[in-house]
């Protein structure tokens, strides 16, 4: 049986039955139980195996002094793989760009499945996966525009996915005003919503300019 367990039926033939006697079944393990007797059959229930080890039990079917044994084998539970980002889940780069590193962990790996890392941003390149060191490296190109930019690096392991948020500050000419983000570049909220705060600093501010805030949603 599989690790999920379930019902199993033993069928038999009984010749020359003795009046007043009946078939009795028993098991030598507690995970086999609930015997139901039919016409020349015995049905029993095998509990789910919550361990990773396979197991074996014996069902004994007896009638007066006669008996036979049936061996019940059950597979162990297969643990599902897990993917998590240990370090580098968010990264902020200066306008000059630079190298980034993401450390990850795969629990209960599946043979033949390899981790991949991809991004749709053309300014994030040279993405490499080092499976032995459990890390992903990438290169952020210099930002020559006066606007900040952001991208996602997606780590995939089979059907599992983890996203890495990458942001980069804009290019600022010397002496021109600039605005820099001081708080986190990513804000996560629960379903019920709530208040958010963004902290920033102005460099070389000009009196005829004001800060404006816009939301894309």
pLDDT in tens, 12-68: 999 999 999 999 999 999 999 999 999 999 999 999 999 989 999 999 999 999 999
Angle among Cα 169, 211, 95 to the nearest 5 degrees reads 10
The pLDDT of residue 85: 95
Spatial neighbors of 157 by CB under 8 A, at least 6 apart, are 81, 83, 106, 113, 114, 115, 116
Q: How confident is the model at residue 214 (pLDDT cuts 50, 70, 90)?
A: very high
From residue 92, alpha-carbon distances to 84, 89, 99, 160, 173 in Å are 20, 10, 11, 25, 20
Name the CA dihedral angle for 10, 11, 17, 21, rounded to a multiple of 10 degrees: 30
Which one has a higher pLDDT value, 110 or 67? Answer: 67
Q: How confident is the model at residue 180 (pLDDT cuts 50, 70, 90)?
A: confident
CB-CB contact of 162 with 146 (8 Å): no
The pLDDT of residue 192: 94
Query: Residue 130's beta-bridge partner residues?
Result: 135
First-to-last CA distance in the chain?
52
Q: Which of 19-23, 168-172, 188-192, 207-211 has the lowest mean pLDDT?
A: 207-211
The pLDDT of residue 167: 95
Q: How confident is the model at residue 165 (pLDDT cuts 50, 70, 90)?
A: very high
φ/ψ of 2, rounded to 5, equals -75, 175
Please report, for the chain, how many H helices and E strands are present, in that order. 0, 16
pTM exceeds cut of 0.85:
no
Pull the structure tokens for residue 91: 């990264």
Cα 122 to Cα 124: distance, rounded to the nearest angstrom: 5
In eight-state DSSP terms, residue 15 is: -
Cα 109 to Cα 37: distance, rounded to the nearest angstrom: 43
Whether the pLDDT of residue 209 is over 90: the answer is: no
């Amino acid at each position: 049986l599989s690790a999920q367990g379930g019902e199993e039926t033993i069928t038999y033939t009984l010749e020359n039955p003795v009046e007043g006697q009946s078939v009795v079944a028993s098991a030598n393990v507690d995970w086999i139980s609930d015997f139901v007797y039919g016409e020349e059959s015995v049905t029993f229930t095998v509990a789910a195996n919550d361990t990773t080890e396979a197991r074996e039990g014996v069902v004994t079917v007896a009638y007066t002094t006669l008996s036979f044994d049936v061996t019940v084998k059950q597979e162990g539970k297969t643990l599902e793989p897990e993917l998590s980002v240990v370090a580098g889940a968010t990264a902020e780069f200066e306008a000059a760009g630079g190298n980034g590193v993401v450390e990850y962990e795969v629990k209960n790996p599946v043979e033949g499945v390899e981790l991949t890392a991809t991004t749709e941003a053309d300014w994030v390149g040279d993405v490499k996966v080092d499976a032995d060191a459990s890390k992903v490296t990438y290169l952020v190109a210099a930002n020559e525009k006066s606007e900040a930019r952001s991208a996602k690096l997606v780590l995939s392991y089979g059907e599992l996915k983890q996203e890495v948020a990458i942001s980069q500050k804009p290019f600022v000419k010397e002496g021109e005003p600039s605005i820099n983000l001081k708080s986190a570049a990513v804000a996560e909220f629960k379903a019920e919503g709530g208040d958010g705060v963004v902290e920033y600093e102005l460099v070389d501010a000009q009196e005829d300019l004001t800060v404006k805030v816009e939301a894309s949603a």
